[in-house]
Chain A
Amino acid sequence: MTEFRAPAAELARFRLRVVVAAVFVLVCFGLLAARFHHLQVKRHDYFLTRAEDNRIALLPVVPHRGTIVDRRGVVLARNYATYTIEITPSQVRNLDATLDELAGLLPLDARDRRRFRKLYEESRNFESVPLRSRLTDEEVARVVSQRYRLPGVDVKARLLRDYPQGSTASHVIGYIGRVTERDVERIEEAGNAANYRGTLHMGKAGLEQSYEHELHGTTGFEQVEVNAGGRAVRALSHTAATPGNDLELTLDIELQKVAEKAFGDRRGALVAIEPSTGGVLALASMPTYDPNLFVDGISTQDWKALNDSPDHPMLHRAIYSTYPPGSTFKPFMALAGLETGKRTAKQAMYDVGYFQFGGHRFMDDKIGGHGMVDLHKSIVVSCNTYYYQLANDLGIEGIAGFMAPFGFGERTGIDLPGEATGVLPSPEWKRNRFKKPEQQRWFAGETISVGIGQGYNAYTPLQLANALAALVNQGKLFRPHVVKYVVDSRTGERRAVEPEPLRQIPLRDAHLKAVLDAMVDVNRTGTGKRAFKGAPYTVGGKTGTAQVFSLRGQRYVEGRVRERLRDHSWFVAYAPAENPRIALAVLVENGGFGAQSAAPIARQVIDYYLLDQRAGAPAAEDEEGAESEEGAESGGDALPASRIVEPALPLEAPPAPVPSRPATPPAAVPAPQPAAARSAR
């Protein structure tokens, strides 16, 4: 065997090496033992402390949410500092006892407790859960003085959201609400979980929702050493949060106020657009609600009141509700006739008061008819018969093909959440819409009602306003937008939200002129003349009336029903006619004829925009400015147009079902707002 060949010397050498290895091993283990001794005996006290109060806690530093200001710097959404009492569940031994103890120090109602329970169940153990906000100074003092008895209880300064304009433009601004479990899931899916650590609120509606990524900012982190009671003893390092970016809107909040006031307590919507940019000047949906109710969790009663109101204040009518456009569709139809060559401007027909199609008579509004009607007159007097005939000549495919580029039946892409698509009727749409074959067929008779903006036609006020803006802008259609600039919180750089032309619709100038001239005459001699009597500017417009067909499953409420069956009133307008600076669509639900209730609202808005807000008028910089503007509005009321409005309109009356927002809390001293100050220049 091999060992006979191995010389004894080699074995001895190997054994020496084994001894050396063994010595090496023992030395190394000795080193380890020394290390253990060092850690476990010499520095034991230090490490024991470290283990017991362990924890370098990592606390998120929540960024300041960006502010929102209107086109002239009036603050629409801002933050204010308030003291909240918060509990860190992991440091509380007996939660109920702690809560009872706290209830002895400051008023805690059942609602606070319920809300806390809910948040507590959703929270991660080491993050503090707010129990009550808006503490008074006295309450803060009482809790702080007793804090040593209440481990895990802390008074923190938090920033809360405030909407100083109250219910004005609430649908546009939206609101923030508590981050719910479902939000957390969505945030985690998007990979933003780290950035939302410590964030309690996020945008839930309106701009607050659609610009959440800009407004939120980047969360910072603070590393703190905490003592045995779990309180931060000292900060070890601090990575500052980056505040969210501010938004500067195209919206003019004073114009918005004029519009909302003009509605009074009627329901409806108004969309005013700057035709040359697609910037939205006013976007009203009536009634409104107070977004401040949502900031700290809306109470059950408030929520019930908003939800159960037959007026549906939460509904964003301007971008979500769809209505048949009625006669406001006619200018577009007229242009379709010209562009397709089915009509010339001069071509006239004789209106006998109805249009006979198959076995059915489509009636005109005027009994006996308008007599000889050409294109111009058809718009000015809003002659139905002309358009019955025209619709029949164009055919449904022709109508749909011409209207689609104007954005009818397609989302405009506005930077707000929850926009409806609307319906541009066509045989194809009908095939997709209905299941049964007999319903899927398009009947030629249906084309006739489409021609006067009734039938299946259904558009949002925004779509109509934007289509009108394109019409008066030589066929250039923009993506409407509410935000003008995003102001970078660090650099102060203003990133413009560029006017984004969606498409250029090819239109002949002569055709356009024929239609627009007629629209100007609508307000001079036609259906809109009463509303625009004495206007010192030229204004084009068109009245419209949308038929209401059914109650759509509404609850029966005595006294309301009759009103709810009335037609919706439309008015579209643009001014000045030579070089339009504003194009708008007004809808008053159950307002009857367009000329009667919608047109006067349009008049007030245009008056304010073109006359009151004269060049060089100082921009409202803050709330005081805003209030003085309100005072000036009585002057606006004196304008001839406003006399046509129902006289008994209460000034500044909030819509009945919406409770007014709570008074500013006593402890809530608005903190200096660096962001707001920056954007108000």
Chain B
Amino acid sequence: MNDNRFNPLALVLGFLRPLDPVLMFVLAALLGYAHVLMQSASPERLDSQITHIGIALAGMWVLAWLKPQRLLSMAVPLYLLGVVLLVAVELFGEVSKGAQRWLDLGVARIQPSELMKIAMPLMLAWFFQMREGQTRFIDFILAGALLLVPVGLIVIQPDLGTSLLIAASGLYVIYFAGLSWKLLIPLMVALVIGLGSIVAFGDTLCQPEVDWQVLREYQKQRVCTLLDPTRDPLGKGFHIIQSTIAIGSGGLTGKGWMDGTQTHLAFLPERHTDFIFAVLAEEFGLVGALVLLAVYVLLLLRGFHIAANAPTHAARLLAGAITMIFFTYAFVNMGMVSGILPVVGVPLPFISYGGTALVTLCLGIGILMSIQRSRFADKT
């Protein structure tokens, strides 16, 4: 397979070889879209956005070169490191916006929960590979325990959005590993009934004197605001009201690039980060939103394809879980911005401004590419 003889062209091709063309196309489309949107939403951040993209692509490339087995061999150390860092955050972390999320290592501030987004599915994939062919019910309990430790640590930071994402990433692995439908279906039903009853009895539950025990006050506020944004139109409901106005006023084809009044009159909060989808929908309309959905669908289908054709059990689980994580990011973000899900602080994948999230997501792409490449490697 390795036939390059100091040929520059071959060198470049060899350099690019691990990169999956479909995923590269999707990535280019999304990052290009993001760049166009940033020019409208927050032009002063364009330069640092380029820097983030450079770092993220480099990380992606490195992972794409590695073999899936090498990645899986790092699962346990990464997972343990993540847990240790999360404990450290709890003990020495910096408080920002009322939550402890950052750890200052002197050279850089890091957010250990971000590391966990990669380490968690890796760890569980590794775990189920160990139990492959002899998976029993007790293994699912153990996997659940492995999942709960970091999720619990992130919940107490408190960071509801991230803990939900990480919990989801673990659950996806468990799902793909074959947790019985008999268990899954009642779980889903219970979830649906629970959410349904919250919606139905929202008014009673959202009285200020009602204490929700499990969720913190700000989380309760978010859910209550979602149920009835007019409850607090100037405070917490403001985001949702303004973003739905932005989306709705965009119409079929949008108000045109740089012409979104909601965006440019500063009515949209956090318009370059979590609410960038509202900028898109306002300026490019339903057409622009559907284009984005189509690109995401392409990304997800490619991910599922890679998962279905992955050579090993672990690689399958990993690829399936990562694909579902991309979906979760996209769905939760667009759902919250358009007002059908609570505001939980999840970025729009590959579009929202922010280096950490972009690096994490591109590392996920890198893993998918690595798995895709290993298929060929193993066949030779």
Contacts and interface: CB of A to CB of B under 8 A. Distances in A.
Interface of A: 1-3, 5-7, 10, 13-15, 17-18, 21-22, 25-26, 28-29, 31-33, 35-37, 39-41, 43-44, 46-48, 50-52, 54-56, 58, 223
Contact of B178 (A1, A17, A36, A48): A17
A18 B302 CA distance: 12
Contacts of A3: 311-313, 378
A2 B68 CA distance: 13
Interface string B45-56: 000000000000
B102 interface: no
A39 B320 contact: no
Question: Which 10 residue pairs across A and B have the least CB separation, nearest first?
Answer: A47-B248, A51-B249, A39-B248, A40-B286, A47-B249, A2-B312, A44-B251, A48-B249, A50-B245, A36-B289
Interface in B51-89: none
B252 A41 contact: yes
Nearest to B309: A15
A17 B175 contact: yes
A22 B378 contact: no
Contacts of A13: 178
- In the complex, which of the residues B175, B251, B252, B339 has the most CB atoms of chain A within 10 Å of its own CB atom? B251
A32 B301 CA distance: 17
A18 B320 contact: yes
A36 B133 contact: no
A431 to B, nearest CB: 50
Contacts of A5: 132-133
Contact of B262 (A22, A33, A51): A51
8 contacts: A18-B320, A29-B296, A33-B293, A35-B335, A36-B281, A40-B289, A47-B249, A223-B233
B307 interface: yes
A40 B288 CA distance: 11
A29 B292 CA distance: 11
Contacts of A18: 176, 304, 307-308, 320
Contacts of B265: 54
Given A40-B251, A223-B234, A51 B313 contact: no
A625 to B, nearest CB: 47
Interface string B342-367: 00000000000000000000000000
A6 B132 contact: yes
Given A14-B316, A29-B296, 10 more contacts: A14-B320, A17-B175, A25-B297, A25-B324, A29-B293, A32-B293, A33-B289, A51-B249, A51-B261, A54-B262
Contact of A1 (B244, B250, B307, B311): B311
B123 interface: no
A550 B173 CA distance: 94
B123 to A, nearest CB: 18
Contacts of A26: 297
A40 B252 contact: yes
A52 B248 CA distance: 12
Given A28-B331, A47-B248, A50-B248, A7 B133 contact: yes
A52 B261 contact: yes
B129 A35 contact: no
Nearest to B242: A54
A28 B334 CA distance: 11
Contact of A17 (B176, B281, B290): B176
With most chain B CB atoms within 10 A of its CB, the pick from A29, A33, A39 is A39
Contacts of B267: 54-55
A487 B234 CA distance: 33
B331 A36 contact: no
B328 to A, nearest CB: 9
A1 B340 contact: no
B127 to A, nearest CB: 14
Interface string B140-183: 00000000000000000000000000000000100110100000
B178 A54 contact: no
Contacts of B335: 32, 35
A44 B234 CA distance: 23
Nearest to A47: B248
A21 B172 CA distance: 9
A14 B331 contact: no
A48 B250 CA distance: 8
